[in-house]
Structure 1
């Protein structure tokens, strides 16, 4: 007789695990994905490597459904799955191997929390005293770099508002609280302010195989303006954000879908009037509310309204910046050219 698992045995919820891990402000989505997959191994009853890799792939598919922008999560999942498949299988039995994979995954995540400090120290050498810096949206590694630079040098920072999420305000508030001179500018004022800055410093959702950058929407146009003004454009990225993705345009990103930049039909709010009043208003409209061309004009009592929520839902969260627009990528593995990122990725996934 085949033993079947009890229906009372709780099934591991990797989505819940991810959300719990992300409550720690210091843990970014790729690291949270690695830790969630580590917990999946811990709770898995897989008895072979084939079953374990299948469980990891299934868990990865579930994690992708937790967010509209799975790019950074994908980078972490991809890195961890590659690590598991390339890990030397010389343990005495499979349970020992699983324990070692769990230990290694947890150790990697703990070590990775030190990467931002390494990047900040590396980038510090490129920041001169008196520098005026432009940054975009909010990034943990950029914040750590700017705060470290403030301890040693005089800097001032322009921060884009970063619509639609407005995370640039969070950056400016954090910098101001630490005593860093900073001011928020409109996203549309980047070209206006570019002549005042020495260089651009941004974070990343992912650095892809081409050496290009996926980051908060608006990064691409900032890079284009920086290139036109002959100003360096630097990206900061932990190595666990290096991603085997090769987009050729904005529409190749996994986060793109048919709802982004679509032309939705706008509906008017229903007027709160009685049926008799509605009949009267309809008659009056047909009699008086027409243009000279004979087309009816919208009723002034029920105007079309476009909300910020509608704008946000119809626009992308991230965009892609081509490698030729990026001066350097500062990472925990060194300061790399975009071509250097490509070479590093090839080596990292080749075992």
Structure 2
């Protein structure tokens, strides 16, 4: 059976109807829905179906980084079946096993934002100045939870051009009663001496421990470091929306993300716990065991 032709539309509808849902979680839920309706008879056929759905979702204007990283983890996680099960002629039993694994994975991802907020809490202190860049739902939840716990903080938010996504972050923080100041991207160096913590989201965490995130994240990270490498290795589909890649001259376009190497990151606060960048590869391996 070929994948549902409306899978990409279902993915977009999920995100439009549930504004608080992450792109990664919506991609995983879409893939699991396809899995529920699939009657593939071999692992190769199933993989082809899932890959075609992932490619369809990547052609939307949502973050390709988030879609690819989340669905890669999902496909690897569900496929960890016992050898004796994979050796059976009846592939329907394998499919059922994958579906159950998929439900467990979705439950895990659904709880990740709350877990990250919990792990981040000890880093917040009263009267702390925090700098954040762009709009991140997980960063917003962590800050709002700390505020609700009675911790007094001031958040400085970069405008995050070219789409000014920082304005949205500033508005959400203000609506939660949190002291927040919107600043120009170019003000980061001027502000840094009064900042006690820089907290940013990540569209994707690389196995190196570095992160892919909104363009300008690297600039924030290197104010006390030297710039060591260029950004040419980031795939085009990560840097630009599909509609831009298909219809415009990329030489005239502004990329949407950059890569921040692990040497500029102190800690990664994840649903698996607090990790130094060097531990990311090892933890990913553990996730599949």
1:315 to 2:254 alignment: yes
**Aligned partners of 1:341 and 1:10: how far apart in 2?**
32
Tell me the SS of whatever aligns to 1:202. Answer: coil
Q: TM-score, normalised by structure 2?
A: 0.86
Alignment of 1:12-31 (within 5 A): 12-23=5-16, 24-31=18-25
Paired position in structure 2 for 1:345: 284
Output the CA distance in 2 between the equivalents of 1:185 and 1:10: 46
Please, which runs of 5 or more residues in structure 2 have no aligned partner? none
In structure 1, the partner of 2:35 is 41
Structure with bigger helix share is: 2
Residue 83 (structure 2) pairs with residue 86 (structure 1)? no
* CA 1:26–1:68: 2 relative to 1, 3 Å: closer
Gaps of 5+ in 1: 229-247, 265-313
Q: Residue 214 of structure 1 aligns to a residue in which SS?
A: strand
SS in structure 2 at match of 1:158: strand
Paired residues of 1:260 and 1:316 also in contact (CA < 8 A): no
**What number of residue pairs does the alignment pair up?**
274
Question: Per-residue CA shift, 1:141-185, capped at 9, x if unaligned?
Answer: 101110111122110110010111211111111111111110100
How much does 1:94 deviate?
A: 2.7
**Deviation readout 1:111-153 (Å, 9 max, x if unpaired):** 3222111111211101111101000111111011101111221
Q: Residue 161 of structure 1 corresponds to which residue in structure 2?
A: 159
**TM-score, with length taken from structure 1:** 0.72
- Which aligned pairs between 1:136-175 and structure 2 lie closer than 5 A? 136-151=133-148, 152-175=150-173
Partners of 1:10 and 1:224 lie apart in 2 by 44
Residue 114 of structure 1 is matched in structure 2 by: 111
Alignment of 1:168-247 (within 5 A): 168-225=166-223, 227=225
Q: Distance in 2 between matches of 1:10 and 1:81?
A: 15
Distance in 1 of aligned mates of 2:25 and 2:276: 24
CA pair 141-69 structure 1, distance change in 2 beyond 3 A: closer
Q: Aligned-residue CA RMSD in angstroms?
A: 2.4
